[in-house]
Structure 1
């Protein structure tokens, strides 16, 4: 049966399309997805609501099951962070001309191109890079794309990735690079930084993340850049831009590509939304040509003193090349680029520095407080930004106890390991409250081992 709104769903049309591309059936498109992840039955959907009041009641019931981080004392992080969001960020990204914009071109644009140009300009200044893309879906995709860019640029098909990254992120990298690029994993040293690095001229890139999954700030950036460049590989660095008010930008120690997520720049924690990925490089045409996503620039117009904003080097993108594109990206995250631009404009260099200094100080205070409470803090001698891991007798029991006290104590990394996140939103009193609760909980559990 044909779908009433999708004419290509008709049996004859579908058969013709399959014949054109040489696929026996639609299932052929999903063969790369492991069988155990596929649903081999129809979706178990409830009966549809035919009246608007009923649907509204249903949605309110679902939303009422959510708990906003501000309703509890939250120390959750691990890729989605509860930083302060200035009201102006929500005000601007809620405007109709931005909120509803999708792929409007200059003749129907209402400032979106200029807003995105301002965003990439401020990001480039923060990163000390020349070129920054319009955001891709999230930081995970940005990392996968940056590594693919390195592989295309060098003509090589292996990358070495730091083991000090989130398991979910590593899974996404492997998924995004398979089967063309082989992913090798570097060990993690006792310090929490990247361990021994072994590279040769078959590697396209060395991927370093700082801060690491445990919040450790890497200190060997220049050394690792020299190792990568010594074999003709690129150094790709993943980072969070909110840390760059106090930490050196990766470009300063030799990074060729920098990538990450901008969720910390004015976006609330959400269930899958609020994430957007950035990729940045120097003004090297051979590398810029490998960006699959849109790049915005500025140019003078026919009217003296007036400027226009629009795509740069557009013919390299999948939007222009379609199925011949080097890689495909979508447009889902451009709104968050505008939001991040508002945030960066509001904070300015001094504001970013103050936030960074506050986070560094609160993180160290929290590490000491939890150590005094009886938790074993991992990599305690290293510099940490925003996050740190603690070892406890029973992670599930500790987090359940804290939740009963109105505290989201962190993210479970293992049976005995919890990742704790501290941002500028946390006061000293908040951290003291967490430490006291952890001390009581550990006492009930028999103490840390």
Structure 2
């Protein structure tokens, strides 16, 4: 008989302990817990792993060999993870031991973490034009799902209207999260942005929120936020705006246009793209108890101490969280992505208001330039006429997947395939005019339309018009 394996660091792997746990929950075997997972997705054998390496030096050499196979390509990929500049000081600060190794930051072991996160929240709140910002949660998917859940709880209603084009991964997460107590209803967009008339026609006293994404999944900037907010508020609903703070140095923040809850991701703010990105989600609201008390996340505030002139930093309204209520909490948060909040705080402090303005102008200009150059190619057209920030969709005369593969052979990642002939292209401040011209030349060659390297002067006034 085979002796059951008992892991030295996992006490629950001992047969007697496992049997006791199963008896306590009334299950015959561990397999019962995985009954809802399709058989095709379940691992039934051993993992195909190599033999263990016996020395650290061997492991280091092995990993270097794997990393040495990485290849750098000119990238126009976006779709949620973006290649923005990360100042060296950001990595230096978050690599400090008091930040890097601290789990969440508690009074008995905090070494400035509370204050760092308070400063981050304050800086982001100023950019978003809100008054309360949470300690970061996992990512924008989680943040958006939470923001919509807050609207459902605050209004006691169960319908959510989706007024923008949203990414499939965000939509999937939100649907899973709110399915037990609310429903999503999609309203088709017009020319890339919300159809205000259609949204207004669907509003009623059962609508908890209108969900707007700006920039949208295709990079379109919503221009009717104020009208959407007014219409939503007229029926007692809330406007939830999902956004990326990277462009708010030049774009009007959603909150200044009537949005009640602003949410999104801070990956663009000083966090490397890496292999899919370091992500962290934010939720921001006005200092309104109705909404603040629905926020499940940790909030750090400023408080006086027993020493005159000294201040401390700590949790605000702890009793509203699941940490206090445990299983009776409105929503469970779990581990925060707090380190990325410190990274974003350092980034915002370095950039300052003028830096964010210049960055926003650069993004608008390069986006406009790329659209102009690429749509000048015969057979290539833009999917809509909206103002775009960082991303836009091209309609190609050939299948987009084929075009991407051919350009990949030329060391260019041209974008993300959205449809048979649709390609999502992304440019950032790291994408130069020469990069865009190279993409235009190579795309023209792949499409069989000879083109010279064109140079169009990016004019911000054109973007504004």
Scaled by the length of structure 2, what TM-score is found?
Answer: 0.90
Aligned residue number for residue 462 of structure 2: none
Aligned residue number for residue 188 of structure 1: 189
Distance 1:38 1:180 in 2: 29
Q: 1:231 aligns with which of 229, 235, 249?
A: 235
1:254 aligns with 2:258: yes
Aligned residue number for residue 432 of structure 2: 427
Distance 2:107 2:82 in 1: 34
Aligned residue number for residue 209 of structure 1: 213
Q: 1:165 to 1:35 in 2, by over 3 A?
A: farther
Secondary structure of the residue aligned to 1:205 is: strand
Give ranges in structure 1 of 5+ residues lacking alignment: none
1:28: Cα distance to partner?
Answer: 4.4
Distance 2:382 2:416 in 1: 15
Aligned residue number for residue 64 of structure 1: 68
1:388 aligns with 2:389: no
Q: 1:32 to 1:289 in 2, by over 3 A?
A: farther
After superposing the two structures, state which structure 1 stretch, 292-301 or 39-48, moved more: 39-48
Distance 2:293 2:23 in 1: 34
Aligned residue number for residue 78 of structure 2: 77
Distance 2:20 2:205 in 1: 46
1:363 aligns with 2:364: no
Does the Cα contact within 8 Å between 1:377 and 1:388 map onto a contact in 2? no
1:18: Cα distance to partner?
Answer: 3.6
Does the Cα contact within 8 Å between 2:81 and 2:276 map onto a contact in 1? no
Q: 1:24 to 1:272 in 2, by over 3 A?
A: farther
Scaled by the length of structure 1, what TM-score is found?
Answer: 0.93
Q: 1:12 to 1:156 in 2, by over 3 A?
A: farther
1:15: Cα distance to partner?
Answer: 3.3
Aligned residue number for residue 56 of structure 2: 52
**CA deviation profile, 1:77-135 (whole Å, cap 9, x unmatched):** 11000111111111111111111111231221111110000000011111111110000
Q: 2:409 aligns with which of 394, 404, 429?
A: 404
Distance 2:106 2:7 in 1: 30
1:54: Cα distance to partner?
Answer: 2.8
Alignment of 1:301-312 (within 5 A): 301-312=305-316
Secondary structure of the residue aligned to 1:149 is: helix
1:179: Cα distance to partner?
Answer: 2.5
Secondary structure of the residue aligned to 2:313 is: strand
Secondary structure of the residue aligned to 2:210 is: strand
Give ranges in structure 2 of 5+ residues lacking alignment: 451-465
Aligned-residue CA RMSD in angstroms?
Answer: 1.9
Q: 1:121 to 1:375 in 2, by over 3 A?
A: farther
Q: 2:418 aligns with which of 403, 406, 413?
A: 413
**CA deviation profile, 1:285-341 (whole Å, cap 9, x unmatched):** 121111111100111111111111111111222222222222122334100000000
